[in-house]
Structure 1
Amino acid sequence: MSGRKQQPAYIIHRKPWMDESELIECLTPEYGKLPLIRKRASRPLPLFQELTIEFSGRSEQKRLLEWQVSGAVHQLSGSLGFYGLYINELIYHLLGRYDHNSVIYGLYSSTLHLLQHSADTHPAIRYFEKTLLEQLGYGLDWLVDLQGQSISKDNAYQYYAGNGFAVATSSTAVISGVILLAIAHNEWQAESALFWAKRILTTEINLLLGGKTLKSRELFESASQL
């Protein structure tokens, strides 16, 4: 890839690189998470805005040549900015470089829109987490239990981290089948659906992070927002 290329992109992460440059990680529909190098003195790159970028280079030494804002402007200020940082961190830590997935690109874009325009942001975050895990190949089966039986609204279940759900054999931390089915179908208005989705998805994400700490969670820890 030595010629000049163009892509829609979102800036996910950036850090200093060498003496006067920075390494940025872009989310793109065609190349997945794309690392690019650029001069640090250049104009600031906006977060949460869809850009059109031009880049060139080979292997890991691709360089950002030009960029411009091309999509909708998302004003994620205050607490919404922390939510935006959270989904950026998930993409940064969980998605491999050059792991092409246009669904994840669309998911990210639509989540930014929902964060800005929805009165309740929690369904958007839970849907993002759930769909991201599914697209990465780590999604739970919310419709079938570990014995291969369909989840029943008449049964209670226990959650086994990294595996799924089994019919409850004790009264400890049981989850109604009604709730699991609601989460499966993204019916977030169902009673306790958001509570259990947050609890379960956070556990699954922590397993994948392998001990990595998310700065956005630290910022929101006192308010229990994420």
Structure 2
Amino acid sequence: MHVDLADCVVLHRRAWRETSLIVDVLAREHGRFALVAKGARRPKSRWSGTLEPLARVSLSWRGRGDMPTLADVQPGAPRRLGDNRLLAGLYAAELTLRLCARGDPHPALFDSFATLLEILEQGAPAVVALRFFERDLLAELGYGLDLWHAADTGQAVVAGQAYNLVADVGFETADNETVDAVDGRVLIGLRSGRFELGADVRTARDLMRRALAPHLGDRPLKSVATAHAMQRLGRRSDAVETADAAHRSSEEPRT
């Protein structure tokens, strides 16, 4: 196979042999696959700094089999993402790696991923932006959620009515007291790309986790574990700073 300057996003990379990399990418027209970047870890490699995770690049490759050889890289603009938004991007990349079959093109998913990274760079809240990427990912893989109609009645989803997600069925009408039931307002927000209330964002996050769980299996996502570890570290740091401030305050001379 000979491909020249395909539009790609780098999903992940790992060391291979002494000086090379294996680079997992999502190509708009070719789907997800891995490339061998020979010599990319050498200090003076021409590809140094161009194959970072989440980078949008144009790639050329040659060869047959599961892992062709990288031939050329044309880098795009540098990616500028803060801590939370960087973790959000890595989470989206890990979902793509875990759920997308190799060599199965999904141009619409590529566009959704690229849009996610762009709006994260522009300052969009990660907890909101990710929900719409998760929605698009499930739809592209054939597991899309019907956010328009109740599965049991066929009637339109409406705000104020509770719905419960039933595996392999869809959203059925439910009582407000039903465990994990969500207001129709949340489903309308997911399909329209805009949530009315802050509480709807948190509900949508939990809902999408349940929708993804059957497809991810029991193996935890590394990006989620990293985010939780950073949150715990942040809470401990805040507690230490508070304790130090209290200690300093107690040592100040009283007047």
Please, what TM-score do these two structures have when normalized by structure 2?
A: 0.78
Q: Which whole-Å CA distance do the structure 2 matches of 1:99 and 1:76 have between them? A: 28
- The answer to whether the 8 A contact 1:180-1:193 is kept is no
Q: Which whole-Å CA distance do the structure 2 matches of 1:191 and 1:204 have between them? A: 20
Q: Which whole-Å CA distance do the structure 2 matches of 1:4 and 1:150 have between them? A: 46
User: Paired residue for 1:29?
Assistant: 28
* Structure of higher RCO (CA pairs closer than 8 Å, 6+ residues apart): 1
Task: Tell me which of 40, 54, 66 is aligned to 1:60.
Answer: 66
- The answer to whether the 8 A contact 1:183-1:193 is kept is no
User: Paired residue for 2:213?
Assistant: 206
- The answer to whether the 8 A contact 1:115-1:124 is kept is yes
- Report whether the alignment pairs 1:114 with 2:113: no
- Are the structure 2 counterparts of residues 49 and 138 from structure 1 closer, same or farther at C-alpha, using a change threshold of 3 Å? same
User: Paired residue for 1:145?
Assistant: 150
3-state secondary structure, aligned to 2:209: helix
- The answer to whether the 8 A contact 1:37-1:61 is kept is yes
- Report whether the alignment pairs 1:159 with 2:165: yes
- Report whether the alignment pairs 1:136 with 2:135: no
User: Paired residue for 2:246?
Assistant: none
Task: Tell me which of 187, 198, 203 is aligned to 1:196.
Answer: 203
- The amino acid across from 2:194 in the alignment is E
Could you tell me which runs of 5 or more consecutive residues in structure 1 were left unpaired when the two chains were aligned. none
Kindly provide the CA deviation profile for residues 168-213 of structure 1, in whole angstroms up to 9, marking residues without a partner as x: 1572233222332232222223353212210111112221111121
Kindly provide the CA deviation profile for residues 50-107 of structure 1, in whole angstroms up to 9, marking residues without a partner as x: 111111001224100121213x332113222211211110111111111111111111
3-state secondary structure, aligned to 1:167: strand
User: Paired residue for 1:76?
Assistant: 81
Q: RMSD over aligned Cα, in angstroms?
A: 2.2
* Stretch of structure 1 that moved more, 148-157 or 53-62: 148-157
Q: Hey, which of these two has a bigger chunk of helix by percent?
A: 2
Task: Give the alignment of 1:83-98 within 5 angstroms.
Answer: 83-98=88-103
- The answer to whether the 8 A contact 2:84-2:126 is kept is no
Alignment size in residue pairs:
222
Q: Which structure 1 residue ranges, 4+ long, deviate > 6 Å from structure 2? A: none
- The answer to whether the 8 A contact 2:135-2:190 is kept is no
Q: Hey, which of these two has a bigger chunk of strand by percent?
A: 1
Could you tell me which runs of 5 or more consecutive residues in structure 2 were left unpaired when the two chains were aligned. 233-255
- Are the structure 2 counterparts of residues 73 and 48 from structure 1 closer, same or farther at C-alpha, using a change threshold of 3 Å? same
Please, what TM-score do these two structures have when normalized by structure 1?
A: 0.88
- The answer to whether the 8 A contact 2:132-2:190 is kept is no
Query: Identity percentage over the alignment?
Result: 27
User: Paired residue for 2:5?
Assistant: 6
Q: Which whole-Å CA distance do the structure 2 matches of 1:51 and 1:25 have between them? A: 12
- The answer to whether the 8 A contact 1:48-1:76 is kept is no
Q: Which whole-Å CA distance do the structure 1 matches of 2:19 and 2:78 have between them? A: 29
User: Paired residue for 1:219?
Assistant: 226
- Are the structure 2 counterparts of residues 8 and 170 from structure 1 closer, same or farther at C-alpha, using a change threshold of 3 Å? closer
- The amino acid across from 1:105 in the alignment is F
- The answer to whether the 8 A contact 2:162-2:176 is kept is no
